[in-house]
Amino acid sequence: MDFDFAHYMLTERGKGKENQSVRSQSKEAYLKLLAETFNMNRSRILAFKNKPPTPVKLIPDEFYSSVHQSKPSKPLRRIPQMQQTPVRTLDAPDIIDDFCLNLMDWGSSNVLALALQNTVYLWDASNGSASELVTVDDENGSVTSVSWAADGQYIAIGLNSSDVQLWDSTANRLLRTLRGGHQSRVGSLDWKNHILTTGGMDGQIINNDVRAHSHIVATFRGHRQEVCGLKWSTSGQQLASGGNDNLLHIWDRSMASMHSRSQWLHRLEDHTAAVKALAWCPFQRNLLASGGGGSDGCIKFWNTHTGACLNSVDTGSQVCALLWNKNERELLSSHGFMQNQMTLWMYPSMVKIAELTGHTSRVLFMAQSPDGRIVATAAGDETLKFWNAFGTPEVKKAAPKAEHPGPFPHLRRIR
């Protein structure tokens, strides 16, 4: 596109090469000036003559470091020494030291139920009074499980004879007895509205509609040995079951069937010992924590939607029970040999916050008060202890109310 330069290259440059030997000094000077005029040295187009200047940082590095430091990770909650010892200790004589049973539950009416051999006792936490609900006869054998309904008035009692009794705790009256479902003792129970789910030594899990005359509405078969733990998710959509066969099953409510064997949603075989401890996370959907027995000793976390194991922590001892803190991202586990302790963990880092010791035998049973602050534990040492494990929840400051912008927020007000 540069016609002057093109004309020179076609005419004068060729002539110069042919007559290089006869060039005069004046001719050389003329050609040099001509080359500079037409900018013949074009080899450094778009290249800097000198090293490019260092770019100026409009935002200093200190700004970024201050931004990251403005939101530090939440520090571990400090547990005062007084909270690491029980606030109350009661006698629990003749409590059955059996890993697969579930002998304690704390209802929404703030009454704790505890089974000791053939008798179920009720302890009212509001006034500290204790009373006897029922003593079953030897023909039905010992009480093997207890579970409060959501209203805190009705309680289910599983028996060694395979029967399940329903009691009105307010009237101290037997309402009905569920028979014909299991072939042996009923060691685990859990409620979902009017459905009482029972798990037996026969490996069966049965949904019972307590309103209906024919109470069996669904049966789940997947365990080869005794069902040790049962827990419905908060939504009531999924049921978790752990067994003495080291299996953990996740069942979906929509797949339950009365006429055929219900198929599990997930069969999880990662534990190497009996699975009793089960706890659904209160702040994250489809998150389940499970604990393995003596030869396993692991707490595992599951995505029950996909069946994936999210994390596994080796605690070094038998995991007997698990409870989530309702107000903080914390998990409490109870253990057996050697320390018989409770361990408070921060989730999801699983850093130990504190260890609560006081029992001299494995801590088989844990229950949480309705407000989530107090934890009751019962162990083979025949004691019932109460711990301020989770403490008083922090009161969150209310966010300041934003000024109402009015109907025309985009217009500036005239002062």
- Among 75-79, 237-241, 411-415, name the most confident range: 237-241
Q: How many CB atoms lie within 10 A of CB 56?
A: 5
Lowest mean pLDDT among 36-50, 269-283, 329-343: 36-50
Whether the link from the prior residue into 53 is cis, omega within 30° of 0, is no
Rounded to whole angstroms, how far apart are CA atoms 215 and 208? 5
Residue 6 — very low, low, confident or very high, per pLDDT cuts 50/70/90? Answer: confident
Residue 412 — very low, low, confident or very high, per pLDDT cuts 50/70/90? Answer: very low
Residue 255 — very low, low, confident or very high, per pLDDT cuts 50/70/90? Answer: confident
> Is 226's pLDDT higher than 60?
yes
- Domain residues for 309? 87-387
Compute the average pLDDT of residues 97-101: 97
Residue 26 — very low, low, confident or very high, per pLDDT cuts 50/70/90? Answer: confident
> Is 363's pLDDT higher than 90?
yes
Residue 96 — very low, low, confident or very high, per pLDDT cuts 50/70/90? Answer: very high
> Regarding predicted confidence, which is higher, 3 or 167?
167
pLDDT for residue 48: 46
Instruction: For residue 277, tell me if it sits in a domain.
Output: yes
Residue 120 — very low, low, confident or very high, per pLDDT cuts 50/70/90? Answer: very high
Rounded to whole angstroms, how far apart are CA atoms 369 and 109? 9
Instruction: For residue 218, tell me if it sits in a domain.
Output: yes
Beta bridge partners of 124: 111, 129
> Is 381's pLDDT higher than 80?
yes
Compute the average pLDDT of residues 237-263: 87
Residue 51 — very low, low, confident or very high, per pLDDT cuts 50/70/90? Answer: low
Positive or negative torsion for Cα 189, 299, 279, 239: negative
Instruction: For residue 412, tell me if it sits in a domain.
Output: no
**In Å, what is the CA distance from 4 to each residue of 7, 19, 29, 282, 340?**
5, 22, 19, 82, 98
pLDDT for residue 30: 72
pLDDT for residue 71: 45
Instruction: For residue 112, tell me if it sits in a domain.
Output: yes
Lowest mean pLDDT among 22-26, 90-94, 106-110, 410-414: 410-414
> Is 103's pLDDT higher than 60?
yes
Residue 9 — very low, low, confident or very high, per pLDDT cuts 50/70/90? Answer: confident
Compute the average pLDDT of residues 34-54: 53
Q: CA-based angle 246:339:320, to the nearest 5?
A: 30
CB 358 within 8 A of CB 369: no
Q: For the segment 189-198, what is each residue's pLDDT rounded down to a tens digit?
A: 999 999 999 9
pLDDT for residue 39: 57
Compute the average pLDDT of residues 208-224: 95
CB 110 within 8 A of CB 153: no
Domain count, the chain: 1
pLDDT for residue 50: 52
Mean of all residue pLDDT scores within the chain: 86
Positive or negative torsion for Cα 21, 25, 26, 27: positive
Lowest mean pLDDT among 23-32, 49-58, 70-79, 163-172: 49-58
Instruction: For residue 12, tell me if it sits in a domain.
Output: no
> Is 283's pLDDT higher than 90?
yes
Residue 37 — very low, low, confident or very high, per pLDDT cuts 50/70/90? Answer: low
Residues 6+ apart with CB under 8 A from 302: 248, 250, 268, 287, 288, 289, 290, 308, 309, 310
Rounded to whole angstroms, how far apart are CA atoms 39 and 273? 86
- Where are the extended beta strands (E) located within 193-234? 195-200, 204-209, 216-221, 227-232
Residue 163 — very low, low, confident or very high, per pLDDT cuts 50/70/90? Answer: very high
Instruction: For residue 128, tell me if it sits in a domain.
Output: yes
Residue 124 — very low, low, confident or very high, per pLDDT cuts 50/70/90? Answer: very high
Burial label, 374 (beta-carbon count in 10 A; 0-12, 13-18, 19+): buried
Compute the average pLDDT of residues 169-179: 97
Residue type, 405: P
Q: In this structure, what CATH number is given to the domain that contains residue 196? A: 2.130.10.10
pLDDT for residue 380: 96
Compute the average pLDDT of residues 34-48: 53
DSSP code of 86? -
Instruction: With 0.75 as the threshold, say if the pTM is over it.
Output: yes
| pLDDT > 90: percent of the chain | 70
> Is 14's pLDDT higher than 70?
no
Instruction: For residue 40, tell me if it sits in a domain.
Output: no
Measured in degrees and rounded to the nearest 5, phi and psi for residue 104 equal -145, 140
Q: For the segment 258-273, what is each residue's pLDDT rounded down to a tens digit?
A: 655 678 999 999 999 9
Instruction: For residue 78, tell me if it sits in a domain.
Output: no
